Structure 1
Amino acid sequence: MANDEEAALAVRERRRLETLREYRILDTAPEAAFDRVTKLVADLFDAPIALVSLVDDCRQWFKSAYGLDVPETSRDISFCQFVIADDRSMVITDVLGDPRFSTNPLVTGEPFIRFYAGVPLRAYNGDVLGTLCVIDRKERSVLEAREMERLEDFAAIIMAEADLRRIVFERDDARRTLERALDFSGIATWQYDAQTDRLSTQGAGAELWGAGFEATLATGDGFFDLVHPDDRSTVRAVLKESVANGTPYMAEYRVLNPERGVRWNSVRGDWDVRSNDAKLTGVSIDITEQKSRQENANLLMRELHHRMRNLFATVSAIISLTRHAAHDIDDYVERIGNRLDALNRAQNVLLSANFMTGSMHALMREVEAAFPRIKWQGPDLLLPENALVAMALLFNELATNAAKHGALTAVDGRVDVLWSQDEGDAEDRQFRLTWTESGSDRPVSAPEQTSFGTLLMDRSVKNNLGGTIERQWRPGGLVVDIALPARWRDA
């Protein structure tokens, strides 16, 4: 049994280290986004030291270290290793009373740690990569639950920034992979001397221009004999401008390939200057297949652009309006975090599908993961991006209110979400959803004034989805009835 446990721990640690490598963050230069968080954490907790610590196989390395000058320490003396081993936060009010740390060189020497509070930095797959920790040189009282939640919120901000970096790296890797793939495809390189009109080529010339292309492409004028007559004047004008102004040469044109018929070529070139000798050097790529798919690709890009504009507009509105509604910085951080979590749920659903639509069931699974006592039932529907975001924000506001003020504050409280959609194709058919809270152990009544969350829900339902929303404050808990035009198809 002990061997099995050791093997399982070894597998888990290996996976954790692999995940840490994915982020490609170890030994990188300081970054303001991380340093701002540690400074803010140190200020908020009135502590001399705040660290973003990432635990490698034999060391803990500090991506950001406020109040500490060393870049790393050995893993075997780190406090953060215990957070990783236990997979949970750790607070030690006086390390001198803890036999695990009382003789630790970080306690007996610089930085003379007496108090430690660390929360996990959890990766996208659940692995703990390190900690966001607060350190003091004097004994302190235990942190309250609200303070721990605040520290965990900042850890989530750290990981959001790290995940953004990871995604950028993955995007760049994908681009480099595409470039390598193009290198091994039918590409020809060429060099043109504008002074002598000499043109030399290498690579997949026969595939691009046809057999016997060498003689024809020996000069610039010969090249134009292979260009489709309808494109020659345009390509000549582009080349003339490039030669006259020393600007890059870029064109897409059709080629009269004797063996393969009319093909589309994309050409890109720039000037290679050596002393007073300037030559236009570039590549030619067969883009016939890409052209045939271009219309669909353009449609996809327009949809993605529209989606990103909507997302940024939503985030901007949430940040601005939440700032006016928040009571203090803690309230602001909490509200922003909750609403960004809701947007993240919607993006997770969209990313797992086709970027433009998402499953109602997938969204509800995300909601249930965040609020386990929410149970749901209804047909699976495909929601467009704007509707999915609106529903995610709606459910977040309802669930957050239930957890703070409603049924979910009670031990036996729960929420049931039921929905249905009228059959057929009638113009007036409806989608109906009921949110029912039950088991509340406190009086349920309408709020005295309209909150930003209520306005956000009303805007999501009425403005974004074109529906209606009605609330009833019953003895057992809040009941919300929502009706929308039934425009969504079955998943």
Structure 2
Amino acid sequence: MKAPDLPNNESARQTALDQLRILDTPLEERFDRLTRMAARLLDAPIALISLIDRDRQWFKSSVGLDVSETPRSISFCGHAIFDRQPLVIEDTREDERFFDNPLVTGYPNIRFYAGTPLHSADGHALGTLCIIDRKPRTLSDEERQCLRDLADCAEEQISARELAIHYREQELAQQNESLIMLRQLADMLPGGLYQFRRYPDGRMSFPFTSKGVERSFGVTEEQAREDAAAIFAMIDPEDLPAVLTTIEESARLLTTWSVQFRVRAENGTSRWFEGHSTPQTLSDGSIIWHGYLEDIDGKKQALLRLQESEQQLRRLFELAPGGIILADYHTATIIDVNAAMLKSTGYRKDEFLKLDYRKLLAPSHPSQRTEALNELGATGYFGPVEREMVDCNGGSYPAIVHSMLIRSSSERKLLWVLVEDISERKKVERMKSQFVSTVSHELRTPLTSIIGAIGLLASGTAGEFTPKARDMMAIAERNARQLATLINDLLDIEKLVAGKLDINLKRQPLQPLLEQAVTVNQSYGVQREITIDLAPDLPEAEVLVDGQRLLQALNNLISNAIKFSPDRGRVHLSAWHDVSDGKPTVTIAVRDNGQGVPEAFRDQIFQRFAQADSSDTRSQGGTGLGLAITRELVSVMAGCIGFESLPGQGATFWIRLPLANSDSHKKTAAC
């Protein structure tokens, strides 16, 4: 244990304390009120106003401690008076100065201490206003400021007490001089000191007001002394009834008057004040209050803004269309939940708050939970991912889940979980898919007959046609085949999404597939005088793919490149070895020299029926299914697809596939 040292100015400090004549005086409500407030506001079992005497610390006011003093040699406050900043010991058993202190090892078993020094008007350290707890804890910045504010009030009360003593002594000897000095000191205080008197006949006046009151209310001491109405007239009309009611209650019970109210200036602006005063009955039956006014406008406005912000956030929380859960990260205890989440799951709020939020997720593979925890730990975020949620009846529904890890002011880890019920969306998608599939199947059979009939007619089976009739037959055949392509695309994309498309994976060399893709699309390029180049330095690579489906994907990319290139343009097909997620891969790229992919279209380019120009007058045809089909085909072959594009400089679409001799074909290659 380390005993506190003596300050360098110990003699002057002790003299300043002695001159206050505060040691060994009776209890005073002005100080007891502050220790009660400290204990209540800072949630501490013990709160003290401790004054450091020669060989002891004496408690002017105490809450939760039944002794009036302890030796200075074992005091905590003796250490605290060396600095103007609070002394905070979060765990006394971890501090070499105090771990074996009798006040730690025995009664009152101090484990936490926070003390803010109290100074006399001339700057000498007198003692501390401190709080003590029997368990370790921390003190937030807001709590430190609260302790500082209460210490300031204690210093003001010490100064006010000193002034009162000084006033009484000087009044007996040199009354005028004493009044002048008291006036000067009172006027120097940041707030306002006053005396308010109410006479038996109902008259009211302010026998004394400091300059602080005049600065706050714009009412001179003479005006206030003659009639209190001048000051009451400055109080906001909305707050005046509360002020008068609390005065009546204080007069009836002779209890401390304390209230917050607004003072309205002549220009219409208002400021918040807080008043505290203690009533005293006089021999003539009147009551006089001795009090202090403090300008709290800054603190009050900050508090009101905080309350307003909390109310707005609460309204947003409750009105949010998606489910929102706030939970403890470690214990999985649910702290709050909004109405949308209750509606989706069917629980009442009191039932929901008793749940473990992890039980709301349908049982999943352990790797999914590990993945979520790892992502939360690394980035603080998880999702969005699709998960099955469990309702109050044990049923499940699909949802998109996001989560975010945060820390409270007390460093408690909390988890925000956003849950979007997509049951209706899934239902609509199933209906749409079923409709598209049914319509496509119903159209394909008659369309096949139509194409066959047109082919027979065009071949002259039914006789020769005039040149104009042959042209019309060619147009009919071309449009019928385009419609057949659309139907086949629709059926392919539905089968891919449903996992029902037959895929025959075989190990085969890549280069012949690339050459075949160029050959197949040459005729389309010739129509617009577009050259299709195949890079000469193709890698000798083998891939595990369905050859026909890879050709289908390549044809989609090449035909798109031709479609969006200018006449007499150039399309370039290349490939190279690559590495993805530490595994060997091969990348195939198709580059055009068109206008590039519009910025607004990039996020939806691989979605079904997506068109950069979806108007009726668009210059380029197409169903909007080609890239969606390509993405699904590449995915089922354990590959991935992407693109790069700059405005006016064309676009490069690429496919990345694992090599046939690697094991990365078991999962989709990382893009």
TM range (shorter): 0.3 to 0.5
Structure whose CA Rg is larger: 2
Which structure has more relative contact order (CA 8 Å, sep 6+)? It is: 1
TM-score by length of 1: 0.38
